[in-house]
Every structure is written in C-alpha cells, then in structure tokens.
C-alpha cells in the first residue's frame, strides 16, 4: 500500500499517524506541496484532484482522509483495536458525527488561521489586517468551544474512555494553528488535558515525529516564497483571503 503525503497537511498527518499507530505497513510517497509537486505529471496520474492524502492499494486509489482512515480500519479489522472506530452502532455513529462536523468547522477555522499567518503576507504582499485575523481567531475559538462543550463534555475522549479516529482527526487540526504560534490551549485546561491524553494514546514519540514539520512552519513560508507555482496559486489564495 502506498500513501502519498506531505506532513505539513493535517489530513495527511491523521492518515500517517493512524497507519503507524496501528502498525499498518505502507510506502511513504512524499508529495511536497510547497514545491508544487501536486501539479506534477506523475502525481496527476495518481489523482486528478491533485490533493493529498492519497492512498493506493494495488490498483485501488482513494482520496479523502476520513475515507482512507475508514478503509484502513476495515481492511485491517482483525488487527486494528476496536476503539479507533468502534463496531458498536452508537459509538461508531459518535465518531462519524465528529468527522462530519469537523470539515466546515475546526478544520476550516484552524486552516484559515494557519494560512493567514503563514501565507497571507507572501500572497498579498501585506500584513494581515487586524480585523481579519481577529475574525478568524474568533471562528477558531467558537469551534474549539464546540469541541469542548458539545463533543468532549466531561469525557476523557470524544467517544468516551478510549481514543478514536475522531480524537486523532481533531488533534491534527488543532496543531495547525499551534504550528504558527497560536496558543489554542490558553485558558482551556480541559482541552489541554485532552490533547495530552490523545498524544499519549497515539504515542508521544510518534506524535512528535508526525508534527515535526508543522512545528517548524516558518520554514514553509520561506519555501512558498520560492515556489515556482506561486503565480498560479495566487488567484486561488487571493480569493480565499478576500
């Protein structure tokens, strides 16, 4: 099985961390987004969506991190611990409830803060306007509040006593703004305690390995500055930032 990944990307980290934590063997195929490798002819043959992560299992190609995660759980059902995606109807529904919610909420809001901090100055040639950053941080705060108050409540993990794909997908998104210096845990001790439990459940060393690149996100900003595809990417980001 091949996984096409760039660990700067949150959905790539969820797939990478899960495969490694569950000891599912794979070939790591690096697609460096900051170098525009998603636009290469070679990668275009794998995925016309030109986004990572992508999984290739024999001739079967799958995009979308949450679909890849579920595929891996089901393919390796005999060895993957049940808590990642419980067989119990209602517990599995809780995982899927979170996975459905996160795309337009924690993922969208955490990514926006990250992109404003890491890319806005390069793309727009100016500092991020204060009110734009304040609005993005407020949206992120709202998502973090929902994660705490609606999904976690007083439980150890989103589904209950054990870690699941929902916690994994949540933590990788949270680490995106952390990578550009936003202290999302400030004033949120319960969320911080949860994040420590998730790191432990994944394995602290593995977690650090998966997040090494994003914790050096300033290097990414520099690489993007030298990206020969920047002119092509500019209109896309300008639209996103406007």
Ligand X SMILES: N[C@@H](CCC(=O)N[C@@H](CS)C(=O)NCC(=O)O)C(=O)O
What is the binding site for ligand X (CB under 6 A)? 9-11, 33, 38, 50-53, 64-65
For residue 120, the minimal CB distance to ligand X (Å) is 16
Instruction: Identify which of residues 49 and 193 has a Cβ nearer to ligand X in the complex.
Output: 49
For residue 169, the minimal CB distance to ligand X (Å) is 9
For residue 52, the minimal CB distance to ligand X (Å) is 4
Find out whether 80 and 27 touch, Cβ atoms under 8 Å: no
Q: Which helix (H) or strand (E) holds 63?
A: strand 60-63
Instruction: Identify which of residues 10 and 105 has a Cβ nearer to ligand X in the complex.
Output: 10
Rounded to whole angstroms, the Cα distance separating 55 from 71 reads: 10
What's the residue count for the chain?
Answer: 242
Instruction: Identify which of residues 33 and 80 has a Cβ nearer to ligand X in the complex.
Output: 33
Q: Give the Cβ contact number of residue 83 at 10 Å.
A: 18
Instruction: Identify which of residues 197 and 237 has a Cβ nearer to ligand X in the complex.
Output: 237
For residue 196, the minimal CB distance to ligand X (Å) is 25
Closest CA to 106 of 181, 216, 191: 191
């Amino acid at each position: 099985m091949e996984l096409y990944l760039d660990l700067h990307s949150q959905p790539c980290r969820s797939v990478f961390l899960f495969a490694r934590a569950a000891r599912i063997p794979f070939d790591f195929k690096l697609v460096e987004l900051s170098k525009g490798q998603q636009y290469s002819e070679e990668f275009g043959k794998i995925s016309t969506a030109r986004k990572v992560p992508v999984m290739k299992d024999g001739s079967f190609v799958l995009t979308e991190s949450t679909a890849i995660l579920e595929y891996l759980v089901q393919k390796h059902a005999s060895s993957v611990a049940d808590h990642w995606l419980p067989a119990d109807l209602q517990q599995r529904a809780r995982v899927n409830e979170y996975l459905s919610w996160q795309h337009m909420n924690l993922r969208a809001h955490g990514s926006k803060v990250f992109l404003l901090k890491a890319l806005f100055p390069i793309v727009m040639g100016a500092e991020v306007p204060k009110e734009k950053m304040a609005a993005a941080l407020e949206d992120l705060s709202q998502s973090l509040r929902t994660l705490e108050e609606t999904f976690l409540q007083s439980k150890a993990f989103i589904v209950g006593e054990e870690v699941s794909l929902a916690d994994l997908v949540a933590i990788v998104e949270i680490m995106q703004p952390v990578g550009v210096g936003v202290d999302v845990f400030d004033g949120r001790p319960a969320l911080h305690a949860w994040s420590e439990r998730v790191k432990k459940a994944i394995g602290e060393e593995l977690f650090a390995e998966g997040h090494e690149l994003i914790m050096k996100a300033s290097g990414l900003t520099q690489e993007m500055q030298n990206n020969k595809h920047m002119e092509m990417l500019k209109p896309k980001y300008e639209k996103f930032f406007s």
